[in-house]
Structure 1
Amino acid sequence: MRDASPKTPIWKAIADSLRTDLAEGRYTSGDRLPTEASLAERFGVNRHTVRHGIAALVKEGLIRTRRGAGAFVAATPTDYPIGRRVRFHENLIAAGRRPEKRVLHLEERAATEGEAAALKVAPGDPVLDYHGLSLADAQPIALFESLFPVARLEGISEALHDTSSVTAALKAMGVDDYTRASTRLTAVRATATQALHLLVTEGDPLLRSSGVNVAADGIPVEYGRTWFAGDRVTLTLESD
């Protein structure tokens, strides 16, 4: 007699198998899944069936897809507190993540009017422009741009060449402590270049943070702008 019991749809079986892979740690947060072609070969089905199974995991929030890039394990957002003392390495270590910074570009240039006002220097005065990428557990979570008044921090360029840490570089300049004087948060869309660095799709939501850090005497030592990947960081405002 033919077995009349209902059979599990193939796409659902594929989703269940991939869900088990995630639960067992075969793929972890931020990992790219094998291509549809590879998965189709693994399960002995066509790519449309694989796509259906992946779509189920996307709906559950376990997987996210990027056009032209593939499917990735959805990242667990990193808690990132913003208060009077914003420290990248300390924040990520406290969240149980492994911090890393990559220097993308360092150049000395003239300050714009807005930058000069933030740093309390004259428009056109030299500033060091530091562009970098922040990562948590090797996954990019933010792009940043930090501006430093060159005349006030002589040697800051060399210090940042030696270490990617802003805190360490400022300490080398004699700034043992600094605090956040102001923070402004704005929702923006990722540009093509930002999307490339952050491994997101152009137009994806980003959260931009702009802030001024001051030394103990209240004089600005850094004006920073950071673009956080919206689905990878949870910004929390700390009261001091």
Structure 2
Amino acid sequence: MTTMGSRESESRWSVESAAGDLRTRICAGEFRRPDGSAGQLPPAGSLGKEYSLSRQAMNQVIAKLAREGLVETRPGSRGAFVRDWEPLVFLPQQEFEATQDGPDADLLTRLVEAVARKGETRMDAVTAEPADERIGAKLGLRPGEHVGVRRRTSIVDGVPALTDDSFVSLRLVDGTDWMTPGSVARGTNKVLAELGHELAFAVDELRPRDTTDEENVRLGLGSGGSVHAIELISTAFDSEDMPVQVTVLTLPGPRNTVVYKRRRLKTEDGG
């Protein structure tokens, strides 16, 4: 149900604050039809009156929400349409729970197919480059050492859902299939195992941040501004506790939910 009228709770609205309020209203289902299907926002002029903003400013608000994947505009239609987009539930623990077969051991494809959605991975680049300070520290590299990098974008139901970039010491993978442009038929984790560094466990770190300009391009968000995202930094170790691979995922908030499963370890007395 759509409610109109001025937004009296805020004395002075900006593009950012109006986008936040409208985002909350969309997520609460305010603009859905009586049958629950996705509805349409009022025209920018009408919304501008609610928020005491110009039509141009409201167009910026709508464009921001469109970049986040919450609404879409259609040629010839007044007002944006709410998108029926279910955030992808990303389960990092599944990396170690399933047999990793197929191109790049595509965890995303398995995840989305399990819930009857379509997933694919786009390979953006395979490069060798100097390790930045953060990646170098996590991999225990000396200053100036290079890393092999595989940059991927995961796409769900035709929408770029997250970026997925992996970093490994170049001296470990130089000249191997890990550096092959495009997909690796048996999976890159299998390549690491063949090199004597099977991934045994991982330490994950989560932090909120905004997307970068480069990520905006890869995620199809345009150049008009960043969106809130979750950064997941996963450092994978082999059985000798050597850090082998760092994977950095950027998950735009409206498109992803990260879920962890925890299990209590059994003690000797069975408790």
Q: TM-score range by the shorter chain?
A: 0.5 to 0.7
180, 193, 198: which one pairs with 2:214?
193
Q: Any idea what SS the aligned residue of 2:189 has?
A: helix
TM-score when normalising by structure 1: 0.65
Counterpart of 1:110 in structure 2: which amino acid?
A: P
The partner residue of 1:182 within 200, 203, 216 is: 203
Q: Equivalent residue for 2:6?
A: none
Q: Does 1:117 align with 2:137?
A: yes
Residue type at the aligned position of 1:228:
L
Displacement of 1:124 in angstroms is 1.9
- The correspondence of residues 93-112 of structure 1 with structure 2, limited to 5 A, is 93-112=113-132
Contact 1:100 1:136 in 2 (8 A): yes
Q: Per-residue deviation at 1:143?
A: 1.4
Change (3 A) 1:164 1:78: farther
Shift of 1:188: 0.9
Supply the AA of the counterpart residue of 1:106.
V
Post-superposition offset of 1:207: 0.8
Does residue 80 of structure 1 match 2:90?
A: yes
Q: Secondary structure at the match of 1:75?
A: coil
Question: How high is the sequence identity, in percent, across the aligned residues?
Answer: 14
Structure 1 residues 105, 95: CA separation in 2 closer, same or farther (over 3 Å shift)? Answer: same
Deviation at 1:21, TM superposition (A): 8.3
Residue 162 of structure 2 is aligned to residue 142 of structure 1: yes
TM-score (ref. length: structure 2) = 0.58
* Higher deviation after alignment, 181-190 or 192-201: 192-201
Give, as a single letter, the amino acid of the residue that structure 1 aligns with 2:228. Answer: P
Q: In the alignment, is residue 233 of structure 1 matched against residue 243 of structure 2? A: no
Where structure 2 has 5 or more consecutive residues not aligned to the other structure, the ranges are 1-31, 40-68, 97-106, 264-271
- Considering fraction of residues, name the structure with more strand: 1
Q: Note the 1:1-240 alignment, pairs <5 A.
A: 32-35=72-75, 38-39=76-77, 50-51=78-79, 54=80, 63=82, 73-83=83-93, 85=95, 87-156=107-176, 159-163=179-183, 168-173=187-192, 174=194, 177-200=198-221, 202-240=225-263
User: Is the 1:143–1:226 Cα contact (8 Å) retained in structure 2?
Assistant: yes
Give 1:115 deviation, angstroms: 1.8
C-alpha change, 1:158 and 1:203, in structure 2 (3 Å) is closer
Q: How many residues align?
A: 190
